[in-house]
Amino acid sequence: MIHLIVGNTGSGKTTYSNSLKKESGGLIFSIDQWNNTLFIPDKEATDGLEWFLERIERVESLMMELVKQLESSGIDSILDLGLSKFEHREKFRRFAAEHHFQIRLHYLDIAKKTRYERVRQRNLQKGDTFEFEVSDENFEFMEGWFETPRESELEDALIIEQ
């Protein structure tokens, strides 16, 4: 089973993924962790969104190969990748369909005020789910970048609200 964890910045995707891991025994793929480990140390001040998107695309192709191995071993994959855009989520739905893998969307539908406070606290505390600081500017950028899942995406989804 592939679990698509979807929610805007600060919705609790990584925390939720960790609890789903305990429940399912699955393996988490957290894009923040991969970015922080592989790319952020090399990022230049002039590198923008396209720089990140190109690297994320490369990492996701590796992740897909690992997901295939996990599926053949009966281990769930928990994709904590942000999945902010419909087309990004669609990419993984097509991948699952092509390989006859089960897939489930988990949508964390959390109010902006709550998410903002979580991000501020995470920036200060630098706890277990902290990978890098999210500025107010980046938080607001993501507010416009994120595409709420469509009704058709939510038909068999698990929706978490707070």
127 lies in which domain range?
A: 2-161
The CATH number linked to 152 is: 3.40.50.300
pLDDT at 162 over 90: no
Q: What is the pTM of this model?
A: 0.84
Q: Is the pLDDT of residue 159 over 70?
A: yes
User: What is the pLDDT at residue 120?
Assistant: 86
The whole-angstrom distance between residue 10's C-alpha and the CA centroid of its chain comes to 11
pLDDT recorded at residue 132? 64
pLDDT band at 161 (very low <50, low <70, confident <90, very high): very high
Number of separate domains in the chain: 1
Q: Which residues, in sequence order, are CB contacts of 152 under 8 Å at separation 6+?
A: none
pLDDT tens for each residue of 6-61: 999 888 899 999 999 999 999 999 987 887 778 777 888 888 878 878 888 899 99
Q: Is the pLDDT of residue 133 over 80?
A: no
Q: State the Cα–Cα distance between residues 141 and 16, nearest whole angstrom.
A: 23
Task: Give the pLDDT of residue 131.
Answer: 65
Consecutive H or E run containing 124: helix 112-125
77-80 vs 103-109, strand pairing mode: unpaired
Listed residue (23, 1, 7, 29) closest to 107, CA to CA: 7
